[in-house]
């Protein structure tokens, strides 16, 4: 065994929350080591948020160009891929410079526990190192799940990782999974020239949303020309992705295509970490058990981000950094009761914060609901982007905003405005009566909140 190197803080994985805390601690003069297999900056920058949104923007540009040009317009998938690689390369470089400036020890390799707070690292360039931390942070994230469907694994399907690397749009793409990743990729590749079919086992796509939201998404994607099949399960796959594949469905029908993209959930990267040797407990799915402080079952051992069941958003991992920073300094910030917004980058865009109607009903929370079609928003008309609606939930017994969902252009940005009001605990009337510049999409909040029913006496 190699000599054990001791650090005050050791991070296994360099995702958003972990790398941010590591850099801050190192800049403060602490001894810090960060172990990373090779994705400098984490999965968000390399294979998730940044490349996917870059590809989506290229797809939007291609769609706009096609609408403005003749029917013979052909999207340039190679140019789109070149743009993805450029953006990713630039952001990796920025992160690497930040790592160097922070001054922590960056160890490139695969780490596994050999004892409590001791990690052996198989180095990428050969050899091993063993490190020990007074505090250890597990930040290994998740990877795309491949369901146990007969023939699926042997068909060599794409996940979002391989899909983001392709330089040629699949001729006929079958997407297994109608969640956020599946829908974003489906629309992007459709706009880049693929014929796309989405298979969703649940009754609706985006099934964590209210039914009216899910149905509006389905309608919009079908209008675009995407084939949406809901309430069907893939039961067998034949062929090879990239050549020819056939998916047999639970209703007895078949779907054929040239490629399969699997977007059916995420699996925590924990199976090879030997967490039992570290005294770290996991749940039945392999996610690390943590308390509201992000502490694991082992002393001075913490987990960050998706691997700890933090909602699978980069901004949620960043808030984990805030929680841990507070805990290390004796503060009281926790994950309890935090409200995390999110967006889905299809067109029309989805933005959401707080409760929706389904959740309010399940929790027995009485609410007043108002809804406004995007056709009522002047800027949506000037932009020719009138699909979708805004919906707000206001407490039935006070004027506090409890939730907001928007399906429409610039939804993610408008959600932030509502989020600020919720953080400040402003009554909805304050936003209703605010002077919002005309014509902005967010001006729709004035119109929406005018429709909130009066409080029952």
Active-site residues, by number, are: 438
Which DSSP state fits 386? -
Nearest to 322 by CA among 307, 334, 337: 334
Whether the CB-CB separation of 349 and 407 falls below 8 Å is answered with yes
Helix spans in 103-170 (H): 160-163
Instruction: Round to whole Å and give the CA distance between 372 and 442.
Output: 12
Instruction: Round to whole Å and give the CA distance between 199 and 196.
Output: 10
Nearest to 186 by CA among 215, 148, 228, 219: 228
Look at strands 172-176 and 266-268 and give their pairing: unpaired
Contacts of 11 by beta carbon, 8 Å cutoff, 6+ apart: 18, 19, 21, 22, 32, 33, 34, 35, 136, 137, 139
Look at strands 105-115 and 32-36 and give their pairing: parallel
Nearest to 236 by CA among 249, 245, 219: 249
The two structure tokens encoding residue 137: 């942070």
Which DSSP state fits 442? G
Whether the CB-CB separation of 445 and 353 falls below 8 Å is answered with no
Query: Which residue is associated with the tokens 């491949």?
Result: 146
What's the chain's Rg over C-alpha atoms?
24
């Amino acid at each position: 065994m190699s000599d054990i190197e001791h650090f005050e803080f050791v991070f296994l994985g360099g995702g958003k929350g972990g790398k941010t805390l590591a850099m801050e601690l190192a800049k403060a003069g602490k001894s810090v080591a960060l172990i990373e297999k090779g994705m400098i900056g984490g999965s968000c920058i390399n294979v998730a948020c940044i490349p996917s949104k870059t590809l989506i923007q290229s797809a939007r540009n291609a769609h706009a160009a096609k609408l403005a040009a003749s029917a013979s317009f052909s999207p340039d998938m190679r140019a789109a891929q070149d743009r993805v690689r450029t953006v990713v390369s630039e952001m990796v470089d920025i992160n690497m410079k930040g790592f160097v400036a922070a001054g922590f020890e960056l160890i490139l390799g695969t780490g596994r526990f050999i004892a409590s707070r001791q990690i052996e690292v198989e180095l990428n360039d050969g050899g091993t190192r063993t490190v020990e931390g007074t505090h250890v942070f597990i930040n290994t994230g998740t990877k795309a799940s491949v369901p146990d469907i007969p023939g699926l694994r042997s068909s060599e399907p794409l996940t979002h990782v391989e899909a983001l690397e392709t330089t040629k749009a699949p001729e006929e793409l079958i997407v297994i999974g109608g969640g956020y990743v599946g829908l974003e990729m489906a629309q992007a590749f459709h706009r880049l020239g693929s014929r796309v079919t989405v298979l969703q086992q649940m009754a609706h796509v985006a099934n964590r949303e209210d039914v009216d939201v899910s149905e509006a998404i389905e309608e919009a994607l079908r209008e675009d020309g995407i084939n949406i099949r809901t309430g069907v399960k893939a039961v067998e796959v034949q062929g090879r992705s990239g050549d020819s594949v056939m998916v047999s469905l639970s209703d007895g029908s078949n779907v054929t295509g040239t490629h399969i993209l699997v977007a059916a959930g995420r699996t925590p990267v924990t199976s090879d970490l030997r967490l039992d040797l570290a005294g770290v407990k996991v749940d039945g799915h392999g996610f690390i058990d943590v308390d509201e402080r992000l502490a694991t079952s082992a002393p001075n051992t913490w987990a960050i981000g998706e691997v700890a069941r933090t909602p699978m958003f980069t901004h949620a991992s960043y808030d984990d950094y805030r929680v841990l920073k507070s805990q290390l300094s004796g503060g009281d910030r926790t994950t309890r009761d935090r409200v995390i917004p999110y967006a889905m980058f299809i067109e029309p865009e989805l933005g959401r914060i707080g409760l929706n109607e389904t959740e309010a009903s399940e929790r027995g929370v009485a609410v007043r609901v108002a809804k406004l079609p995007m056709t009522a928003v002047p800027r949506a008309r000037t932009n020719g982007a009138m699909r979708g609606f805004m919906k707000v939930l206001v407490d039935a017994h006070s004027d506090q905003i409890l939730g907001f969902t928007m399906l429409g252009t610039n939804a993610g940005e408008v959600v932030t405005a509502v989020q600020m009001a919720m953080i400040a605990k402003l009554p909805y009337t304050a936003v209703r009566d605010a002077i919002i510049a005309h014509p902005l999409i967010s001006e729709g909040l004035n119109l929406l909140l005018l429709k909130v029913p009066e409080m029952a006496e």
